[in-house]
Amino acid sequence: AQTVTQSQPEMSVQEAETVTLSCTYDTSENNYYLFWYKQPPSRQMILVIRQEAYKQQNATENRFSVNFQKAAKSFSLKISDSQLGDTAMYFCAHLTSGSRLTFGEGTQLTVNP
């Protein structure tokens, strides 16, 4: 069974600084996908970034980037130039093709002015 672990229940960062959220996962599959989702206080889940396991290159989306270490089963999210609107719960999730998402427990990120 797939498991996803986020070891940081809460984190805070000053506006304009950089923060990294950690995620580890366990799977026996070779082909899979990893995602970071953001859930602001309004609670709608929004996709932030995705990574295909077969791609060695780390995914980047504007201020968001990942550090994907397949052998270590690690998938961290780096947010650069943090903005107040980045305040949210962040979930790491794992997906095997065509199947369910398995989510971590979440990290509550607060960006302070």
Partner 1 sequence: DTGVSQNPRHKITKRGQNVTFRCDPISEHNRLYWYRQTLGQGPEFLTYFQNEAQLEKSRLLSDRFSAERPKGSFSTLEIQRTEQGDSAMYLCAYTRASGGGSNEQFFGPGTRLTVL
Contact between 35 and partner 1 by CB under 8 A: the answer reads: yes
Interface with partner 1, residue 113, by CB under 8 A: no
Q: Taking CB under 8 A as the rule, does residue 97 contact partner 1?
A: yes
Query: Which helix (H) or strand (E) is 95 found in, with range?
Result: strand 88-96
* Distances in whole angstroms, Cα of residue 52 to Cα of each of 17, 34, 36, 64, 84: 27, 7, 12, 16, 29
Q: Which of 91, 94, 109, 111 binds partner 1 (CB under 8 A)?
A: 91
Residue number, 28 or 43, with CB nearest to partner 1: 43
**Interaction of residue 45 with partner 1, rule CB under 8 A:** yes
In the numeric block, which tokens belong to residue 48?
Answer: 């932030």
- What is the identity of the amino acid at 14? Q
Which sign, positive or negative, has the C-alpha torsion 5, 6, 7, 9?
A: negative
Residue type, 6: Q
Please select the residue that binds partner 1; options are 7, 17, 29, 46, rule is CB under 8 A.
46
CB of 51 to partner 1, least distance (A): 9
21, 90 contact by CB (below 8 A) = yes
CB of 50 to partner 1, least distance (A): 6
Residues that bind partner 1 (CB under 8 A): 4, 33, 35, 37, 42-47, 50, 52, 91, 93, 95, 97-106
